[in-house]
Amino acid sequence: MTDVFFHRFEVEPSRPREFICRLVLGMALETLFLMALGSATRVMNAGLACPDWPLCYGELVPHQQMNFQVFLEWFHRLTASSMGVFAIALVILSWWHRRALPGWLPWASTLALGLIVFQGVLGGLTVTELLRFDIVTAHLATALLFFITLLTIGGFLLPYRGTGSAGKLRWVALFAAVMVYLQSILGALVASQWALHQCLSMANLCRVMNSHIAGVVPATGGTLALVVMAWRTPALHPTLRRLANLAGGLVILQILLGVATFKLRLQVEPLTVAHQAVGAGLLGTLVLFTVLALRDVPASISQVVPSRPLLSESMRDDGTKSLPV
């Protein structure tokens, strides 16, 4: 049954499939940039630079009030709006070409659109509720879910033929991805409540900050376990090997950035932005590894089980039944 299930994701290449795959992966890259831009908006105290929503000072382009902080908030909204347009286009294309695409794709595209709509609502609430910490945290958590959804769709659409050697690596990668996602949410809580500043200066919210520090252990451990296991798997697909090595490099860089931001007490804004961006990049790498490792399963099965009809008997052209040889 497992080979039948994963066979649903294996369809012949088609022009709509290739175009949608490129569109989805391009959207994922823009989402990564959008999250980094949102982080820059927060650390530069520009989250309320535009006091109203969805317009900015009642205008589409606030020429008179434009400064660096207003530009950051305005450009963040502009980029998010373009993402909504792309998400609508993705849904339309997926449903229009649904006969030439995997059956799950239109529904997955609709889910992505629902997430971006919900994300827009949260974006408006962050302004109207004056950057309330739980809404700000939910805003980033939803953005990461949207990012994961896009990479999952793109990973299943990419042309890929596995070697059948992924084995337990897919579950290790999935564990690491979940841990990194939860760690990202803890980081968002630390940022939205300024927990580092409050803990160091007034001994407040230290539990939040310490939870984020403790969360480094399972996230890092899962990622490094994946890297070591990938090194010890000689027949691993080159793409999976490169993704594992990339995840290892990103997690080391993320730790270094985290230590630097802690030591400098978030006083160097580019470091803080890079810390969140690298964390999102690490999450995306682990998600893509997981998806491709899951697609590696049919190749593994086909190497063990000889090719044979799925049913116990097949139909001849003349309508009579014959048992498989």
* 2 inside domain: no
The pTM of this model reads: 0.86
pLDDT at position 65, please? 93
Render pLDDT for 157-206 as a digit per residue (tens, 0 to 9): 999 988 889 989 999 999 999 999 999 999 999 888 887 777 877 777 78
* 308 inside domain: no
pLDDT at position 318, please? 46
Banded pLDDT at 297 (limits 50, 70, 90)? low
Q: What is the mean pLDDT of residues 8-16?
A: 55
Q: Any idea which residue has 């950057």 for tokens? A: 131
* 317 inside domain: no
> 65 and 170: one domain?
no
pLDDT at position 254, please? 96
CA distance 273 to 185: 15
Last residue of a domain, one of 94, 129, 159: 159
Alpha helices by DSSP H, listed for 193-237, are: 195-202, 206-214, 216-231
* 316 inside domain: no
Per the structure, the count of domains in the chain is: 2
pLDDT at 98 over 50: yes
CA distance 38 to 24: 21
Last residue of a domain, one of 114, 130, 159: 159
> 81 and 100: one domain?
yes
Render pLDDT for 103-113 as a digit per residue (tens, 0 to 9): 999 999 999 99
> 257 and 267: one domain?
yes
* 318 inside domain: no
pLDDT at position 14, please? 63
Banded pLDDT at 263 (limits 50, 70, 90)? confident
> 183 and 291: one domain?
yes
Which range has the top average pLDDT, 13-22, 146-155, 164-173?
146-155
> 154 and 182: one domain?
no
> 135 and 181: one domain?
no
Q: What is the mean pLDDT of residues 259-275?
A: 86
* 151 inside domain: yes
* 315 inside domain: no
Range of the domain at 114: 10-159
State the chain's mean pLDDT as an integer. Answer: 87
pLDDT at position 202, please? 75
Residue 249 corresponds to which tokens in the numbers above? 């490099």
CA distance 320 to 297: 34
> 153 and 25: one domain?
yes
Render pLDDT for 49-64 as a digit per residue (tens, 0 to 9): 999 998 999 999 999 9
* 138 inside domain: yes
Render pLDDT for 211-259 as a digit per residue (tens, 0 to 9): 888 999 999 999 999 999 999 998 899 999 999 999 999 999 999 999 9
> 16 and 129: one domain?
yes
Task: State what percent of residues in the chain have pLDDT above 70.
Answer: 87
Q: What is the Cβ-side half-sphere exposure of residue 73, based on CA atoms within 13 angstroms?
A: 29
> 198 and 171: one domain?
yes
Last residue of a domain, one of 126, 159, 192: 159
CB atoms within 10 A of CB 85: 10
Render pLDDT for 116-146 as a digit per residue (tens, 0 to 9): 999 999 999 999 998 999 999 999 999 999 9
Task: State what percent of residues in the chain have pLDDT above 90.
Answer: 69
Q: Which has the closest alpha carbon to 7: 298, 299, 300, 302?
A: 298
CA distance 121 to 109: 19
pLDDT at 311 over 60: no
